[in-house]
Amino acid sequence: MRINRKRLEESMEALGRVGATAKGGLNRVALTDDDRRGRDLLVEWMRQAGLAVTVDQMGNIIGQRAGSDGAAPVMMGSHADSVPTGGKYDGQLGVLCALEVIRTLNDEKAATRHPVAMAIFTNEEGARFQPAMIGSGVMAGKIPLEDAYNARDRDGVRLGDELERIGYLGSEPCIPRPLRAYLELHIEQGPILEEQHLSVGVVEGIVAISWSRLTLTGVQDHAGPTPMRIRHDALVAAAEIIRGVREIPRKIGGDMVSTVGRLDVTPNIPNAIPGRVSLSVDLRAPDEHHVTRALGFLDRLVKEAARVEGVTYELDHYWRVPRTHFDVEVVDTIEEAAKGLGYGYRRILSGAGHDAQYMATICPTGMIFVPSRDGRSHCEEEFTPMDDIEKGANTLLLAASKLAGAA
């Protein structure tokens, strides 16, 4: 069996038009009107493929193809939301490849002992509502449903209210469910596969991740008459912290990375000393212990910068996901599929978080990566060649079919 490349490419182009940007990227942030339109299109295609479609309390969309007995399903999936000015491959490629696998099984009239399902998870990116991966986190029992509903965006809009507004506040319980396995195809979002001229990454696990939010409060004042010696500038303290966050991986080593990706300055005008600054800190490492050490560095860095500038602070380490090790059987099955198809592949570790990270806590899980051009993602330049996508999708088809007990 092989997937239908032309059909997959046409589906990618059609879904990519929903929320498309002028520069060829995507702006389909979670629970916006464009997210609703994208969901509607996917649900239409899922029903056309004969899937029984349900929507759970978190707006996660599940479509299931019947198996020959009552065995637990093999689920494939990813997400359809994007970051602002993101790309057309992150997330939605995994959803569409899952759909293409099911369409191919239908074309071949292939029976499977286990049902084959696909999932579209809510708010994976965490761009609008934090933390990331909320839909899968609730399903895995790691994030309380009410906490997810009460997450708010920058404008104070509540996640639960937006689910209801766009018509995707479902009634199906969002709880752990019996699954034979979970498989997720995704772009690598890094340079390794492209640099090594390989088409498939067999993902063995995901790095540990920590998100923190920091608010610094100084004294807002006039930029002209206020002498330097009496200033308590929240942005000066923030600048010292940002520089220090950049240095944390160098001090710890071990392939750690650190990022300050969000900065909100108040009042944010040319002629006023900033009185309040809020910022985010993202820390990641393959070694869980390195993240713990990095958080200690961060605590001391913030305390000292605030002391020197005479400002107060609130630091909240609000989200942490441990290092994830994927299931040996599932990883081996993916590797055997890629090898059997004659594709160039390697085993790899993911530096990005994925819904598979939470799904791995409730069922055997594995991931398939396809290359990212220049290693770039979360930008409009995001791109993966169709030849590599086809190979990744065929690997997913073969692995899912084997796990589902295809006749």
51, pLDDT greater than 80: yes
Residues in the chain: 407
Over residues 157-175, the mean pLDDT reads 98
Q: CATH for 208-321, among 1.20.120.80, 3.20.20.100, 3.40.50.1000, 3.30.70.360?
A: 3.30.70.360
Looking at the chain, the domain(s) classified CATH 3.30.70.360 span 208-321
**Distance between CA 162 and CA 158 in Å, rounded?**
6
Residue 212 banded pLDDT, cuts 50, 70, 90: very high
Residues near 79 by beta carbon (within 8 Å), at least 6 away in sequence: 91, 92, 94, 95, 120, 121, 122, 123, 124, 125, 135, 355
pLDDT digits (tens, 9 = 90+) for 315-342: 999 999 999 999 999 999 999 999 999 9
256, pLDDT greater than 80: yes
Tell me the C-alpha to C-alpha distance, in Å, between residue 213 and each of 70, 246, 277, 284: 45, 16, 11, 15
pLDDT digits (tens, 9 = 90+) for 88-138: 999 999 999 999 999 999 999 999 999 999 999 999 999 999 999 999 999
Structure confidence at residue 132 (pLDDT) = 96
Over residues 233-261, the mean pLDDT reads 97
**Distance between CA 331 and CA 93 in Å, rounded?**
20
Over residues 339-346, the mean pLDDT reads 98
Residue 234 banded pLDDT, cuts 50, 70, 90: very high
Long-range contacts of 247-250 (CB under 8 A, 24+ apart): 248/283, 248/294, 248/297, 248/298, 248/301, 249/294
Residues near 240 by beta carbon (within 8 Å), at least 6 away in sequence: 305, 308, 309
If we measure between CA atoms, which residue out of 115, 153, 120 comes closest to residue 139?
A: 120
Over residues 370-378, the mean pLDDT reads 97
Structure confidence at residue 28 (pLDDT) = 98
Structure confidence at residue 70 (pLDDT) = 82
Q: Tokens standing for 204? A: 């063995």
Structure confidence at residue 23 (pLDDT) = 95
pLDDT digits (tens, 9 = 90+) for 27-45: 999 999 999 999 999 999 9
**Distance between CA 105 and CA 46 in Å, rounded?**
13
407, pLDDT greater than 90: no
Residue 382 banded pLDDT, cuts 50, 70, 90: very high
pTM for the full predicted model: 0.93
Over residues 214-230, the mean pLDDT reads 98
**Distance between CA 125 and CA 134 in Å, rounded?**
9
CATH, domain range 5-207+323-403: 3.40.630.10
Looking at the chain, the domain(s) classified CATH 3.40.630.10 span 5-207+323-403
* Residues paired with 86 in a beta bridge: 26
Structure confidence at residue 58 (pLDDT) = 98
**Distance between CA 259 and CA 241 in Å, rounded?**
11
